[in-house]
Amino acid sequence: MLRVSKLTDYAVVVLSRLEAEGGVQTAPGLASATGLGEPTVAKVLKMLAQAGLVEGLRGARGGYRLTRPLAQLPLSEVIVAIDGPIALTACVDGGFGLCEAEHVCPVRGRWDPVNAAIRGALSAITVAEIAAPKGLVPTLPPPVPVLVAE
Amino acid sequence: MLRVSKLTDYAVVVLSRLEAEGGVQTAPGLASATGLGEPTVAKVLKMLAQAGLVEGLRGARGGYRLTRPLAQLPLSEVIVAIDGPIALTACVDGGFGLCEAEHVCPVRGRWDPVNAAIRGALSAITVAEIAAPKGLVPTLPPPVPVLVAE
DNA sequence: GCCAATCCGGACCAGTAAGGTCCGGTTTCC
DNA sequence: GGAAACCGGACCTTACTGGTCCGGATTGGC
């Protein structure tokens, strides 16, 4: 656990491609460019558009466009857009203790500082940093298939 | 997403109780003290024992004991003990790109710095900090049941 | 003015993993 | 010798992710 969803991973890839190419690009185009499934890419784009990280242009000749350069886009925003609010535990955030069974629920940990620390760490990293440091490297040289220790 | 499992939450509660009371305590005792299910508490304790965060004493008059004060126990260790290694995405860590389909997998993001940042943030927080800042507050005063906006 | 391309919003289903429980075995104290 | 407790699993149910698909709305081109 403590994972982000695959969609978030895809989002970074798509955003990276979006910036590398520049301009307006269609969902099918991005799908073939990234090698991901077309419906999946469309889903990711829709989520990013709802969050305002990309702009969707409808109609023929439509597509998606970045609203910000990736260097100004903290990773935390992408995660929030795809995975929802960053809260490590279920019953926190707002913290009125309104669990279903508040009087029974013994989990009175203060996870808020933890959440804040995670948010801080994730806000300090931009998508540009993890997308592709210097240009895209679509394929690595095939490594020697050594025996992988399980 | 980006959640830790409930077991991790329980672990913090159990550890907190373990330190508050001091000495050796049994799984059933901790269960009733925390209000959690007995098998669940036992499961958490077993995991913590395997990770060396608590010490299990077998036999009658057995139980569990802390191996370290909580102030010296970073939260990251608890998370690793319960949730496994901290790696936000599936195909990272070690990073030989040995996904099942490496030549197809377009996810070439560098998540390693992100993982490192998360680990750093989680290592800087001790269990003592989130467990119960000043003594246990087992029950909050019942808040006025205002209408909760959905 | 019609048609095609494209985004939009949702419903839908299969696979996986968390959450929680239970059982037999072993160790230790009374 | 018996009871109390830990140990190491297996087991099942539920929820959610991951991925696909469809009808509707919008816009540009012929």
Give B51's contacts (C-beta < 8 A, 6+ positions apart). Answer: B77, B80, B81
ipTM over 0.90: no
**Residue numbers of B between 85 and 144 with CB closer than 8 Å to A:** 86-90, 96-98, 102-111, 113-114, 117-118, 120-122, 124-125, 129-133, 136-140, 142-143
Q: Is B117 inside any structural domain?
A: yes
Q: Are B131 and A62 in contact (CB under 8 A)?
A: no
Contact across the interface for B130 and A114, Cβ inside 8 Å? yes
Closest Cβ opposite residue A107 in set B9, B114, B129: B9
Residue nearest to nucleotide C21 (CA to C1'): B39
Is the CB atom of residue B134 positioned under 7 angstroms from any atom of strand C?
no
Q: What percent of chain B has pLDDT over 70?
A: 74
Q: Is B65 inside any structural domain?
A: yes
* pLDDT over threshold 60, residue A11: yes
- Return phi, psi of residue A84, to 5°: 90, 180
Identify the CATH number of the domain in which residue B126 sits: 1.10.10.10
Please give the full DSSP string across A89-118, using - where no structure is assigned. SSS-SS-----TTTTT-------HHHHHHH
- What is the pLDDT at residue B137? 40
- What is the pLDDT at residue B131? 83
Q: Mean pLDDT in chain B?
A: 82
- What is the pLDDT at residue A1? 81
Q: Is B138 inside any structural domain?
A: no
C-alpha span between B15 and B65 (Å, rounded): 9
Task: State pLDDT tens for residues A51-85.
Answer: 999 999 999 999 999 999 999 999 999 999 999 99
Task: State pLDDT tens for residues A114-125.
Answer: 999 999 999 999
Q: Is A10 inside any structural domain?
A: yes
Q: Is A65 inside any structural domain?
A: yes
For B105, the domain range is: 6-131
As for how many domains chain B has, the answer is 1
How much is the average pLDDT of B70-90?
94
Q: Are B65 and B23 in contact (CB under 8 A)?
A: yes
